[in-house]
Amino acid sequence: MFDIKNFPIRIIPLFGRFDRITLIPYTQAAAKERITINELISKVTRSDDAATLKRADKYFVFYNDSTYEKTVERIRYSIIHELGHIALNHFRDERTLLTRSAMSNEEYEKLEVEANFFAAEFLSPKALISTKWKVSEIQAVFRVSKDSATKTQQFILRNPWFQNRIYSEIDNKQYKFYPSRSLDTLLPGV
């Protein structure tokens, strides 16, 4: 479906592949509506990070693009978290379409955990990471936070059977890793 071979994933070009999903930065949405970002958050998205609205068969993913408030890693994670909600069909009925207030805390938390797992695995697929990689290497190659890279490394080290079976089979599948040394190279494509 996604056919991704290069890491870190360039998020904005990735969304260009989807006909039914539009990615909208908070700054753009706020300017269009002539409101502040804080008003956009309180009246529309109800999230400081990102939110998805569904209209008919189209999805609109709004994300906080302020690097003053958020790290690039957080922005990337938030966007892919929203993609997770879409890919996992979390907008399937009226209760999940409207707001989280229509669901119990337990139902809402389940959807959030699923979207979090999706985002973590999408951005830094465990199957592509050797047990020899350091946290700093995972961070640089996949452009994820230190916390995310640490959790990924801990999983890999706790589950060597996973790496021995999976990593060895895909090690030579022509994936390209471009460790990031500068925000300038990633900001245009988040």
Q: Flag the least confident range among 27-41, 49-63, 112-126, 167-181.
A: 167-181
With CA atoms as reference, report the closest residue to 178 among 10, 3, 2, 1. Answer: 10
Return the pLDDT at 182. 46
With CA atoms as reference, report the closest residue to 184 among 67, 61, 79, 25. Answer: 67
pLDDT greater at residue 105 or residue 34 = 34
Q: Are 8 and 143 in contact (CB under 8 A)?
A: yes
pLDDT at 168 over 90: no
Mean predicted confidence (pLDDT) in 173-182: 60
Return the pLDDT at 160. 77
Q: Residue type for 172, please?
A: N
- The pLDDT tens digits of the residues spanning 61-118 come to 999 998 888 899 999 999 999 999 999 999 876 545 545 667 888 988 999 999 999 9
Q: What's the per-residue H, E or C state across the chain? A: CCCCCEECCCHHHHHCCCCCEEEEEHHHHHHHHCCCHHHHHHHHHCCCCEEEEEECCEEEEEECCCCCCCCHHHHHHHHHHHHHHHHCCCCCCHHHHCCHHHCCHHHHHHHHHHHHHHHHHHHCCHHHCCCCCCHHHHHHHHCCCHHHHHHHHHHHHHCHHHHHHHHHHHCCCCCEECCCCCHHHCHHHC
pLDDT greater at residue 60 or residue 95 = 60
Domain spans of the chain?
126-190
pTM, 2 dp: 0.84
Token pair of 108 as six digits: 């809402």
Mean predicted confidence (pLDDT) in 9-27: 93
* Other CB atoms within 10 Å distance of the CB of residue 102: 13
Q: Residue type for 61, please?
A: V
Return the pLDDT at 131. 86
Return the pLDDT at 176. 67
Return the pLDDT at 186. 42
Return the pLDDT at 83. 96
With CA atoms as reference, report the closest residue to 126 among 89, 165, 85. Answer: 165
Mean predicted confidence (pLDDT) in 2-27: 90
- The pLDDT tens digits of the residues spanning 112-132 come to 999 999 999 999 999 888 888
Mean predicted confidence (pLDDT) in 138-144: 95
* Other CB atoms within 10 Å distance of the CB of residue 118: 19
